[in-house]
Amino acid sequence: SQQGEEDPQALSIQEGENATMNCSYKTSINNLQWYRQNSGRGLVHLILIRSNEREKHSGRLRVTLDTSKKSSSLLITASRAADTASYFCATDSGTYKYIFGTGTRLKVLA
């Protein structure tokens, strides 16, 4: 399967703590995107990182990319209960056919 792997599969933290999710993929990519999905609804785009970038920030989100290890991480700082959701990475190898990771279910406890 070309599907990426994410770990952990599930993560439970206290409000205010940081949450880190990791994504690994198998083929060379042009870019990688992170999405959030609340309760089986549509996906919300969070951040895109190009293959020639190593780190990107957006508000409380920090994404890193290590193309030599074919991996990316998403850090959510100072988490809130509203951050409870599933988080997916998706990679594009230049064909517009995004391959999604298996997802991390994050639960933030108030």
Partner 1 sequence: SAVISQKPSRDICQRGTSLTIQCQVDSQVTMMFWYRQQPGQSLTLIATANQGSEATYESGFVIDKFPISRPNLTFSTLTVSNMSPEDSSIYLCSHVEGLYPETQYFGPGTRLLVL
Q: Which amino acid is at 28?
A: S
Decide if 80 contacts 90 (C-beta within 8 A): no
Nearer to partner 1, 73 or 103 (CB): 103
- In the stretch 21-60, what mask flags binding to partner 1 with x, by CB under 8 A? ---------xx-x-x----xxxxxx--x-x----------
Q: Does 96 engage in binding with partner 1 (CB under 8 A)?
A: yes
Rounded to an integer, what distance in angstroms lies between the CA atom of residue 19 and that of residue 23? 13
Structure-token match 């690994």, residue found: 24
Q: How far is the CB of 30 from partner 1 (least distance, A)?
A: 6
Choose among 47, 53, 51: nearest CA to 21. 47
Total residue count of the chain as it appears in this document: 110
Q: How far is the CB of 99 from partner 1 (least distance, A)?
A: 8
Q: Does 88 engage in binding with partner 1 (CB under 8 A)?
A: yes
Nearer to partner 1, 12 or 18 (CB): 12
Phi, psi of 81 (to 5 degrees): -55, -35
How many residues sit in the footprint of partner 1 (CB under 8 A)? 24
Cβ-proximal residues to 107 (8 Å cutoff; 6+ apart), any chain: 10, 11, 12, 13, 84
Interface positions with partner 1 (CB under 8 A): 3, 30-31, 33, 35, 40-45, 48, 50, 88, 90, 92, 96-103
